[in-house]
């Protein structure tokens, strides 16, 4: 009899299926199927340093990616991660049932 985790593995394949939600992106030199969510608007900065940086033309760009944990080694918070030739800092990393959720942030001017 199949276990619940076996069904979850099948669900991951569905979500990352290139005909469904998945897209191929380059992550640290590897082409992987993943889901990428770009945050278009993060709201007004709340920290004084962020307000100062925005006034000087430095803005943050954040992206969240979802990738299977068997396809990519879990990065440490603060580690540099290259997604599609852009370097980001890993701001938060979590893993749930075989899927890594990696929140990335970059500072651009």
More confident residue, 95 or 1: 95
Q: What is the pLDDT of residues 58-101, one digit of tens each?
A: 677 889 999 999 999 999 999 999 999 999 999 999 998 889 99
Contacts of 80 (CB under 8 A, 6+ apart): 87, 88, 89, 90
pLDDT of residue 52: 55
**Nearest to residue 63, comparing CAs of 23, 29, 43, 91?**
91
What distance in Å separates the CA atoms of residue 2 and residue 5, rounded to the nearest whole number? Answer: 8
Is this model's pTM higher than 0.85 or not? no
User: What tokens does 93 get?
Assistant: 């990393």
More confident residue, 31 or 53: 31
pLDDT of residue 15: 75
- Its CATH class, for the domain covering 4-108, is mainly beta
Map tokens 């970059």 to a residue.
106
- Mean pLDDT over all residues of the chain? 81
Contacts of 51 (CB under 8 A, 6+ apart): 45
């Amino acid at each position: 009899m199949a276990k619940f985790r076996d069904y979850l593995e099948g669900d991951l394949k569905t979500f990352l299926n290139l005909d469904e939600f998945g897209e191929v992106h380059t992550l640290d030199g590897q082409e992987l199927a993943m889901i990428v969510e770009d945050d278009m608007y993060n709201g007004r900065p709340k920290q004084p340093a962020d307000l100062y940086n925005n006034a000087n033309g430095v803005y943050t760009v954040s992206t969240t990616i979802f990738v299977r944990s068997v396809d990519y080694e879990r990065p440490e918070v603060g580690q540099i991660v290259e997604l599609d030739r852009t370097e980001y800092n890993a701001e938060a990393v979590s893993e749930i049932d075989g899927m890594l959720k990696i929140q990335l942030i970059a500072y651009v001017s």
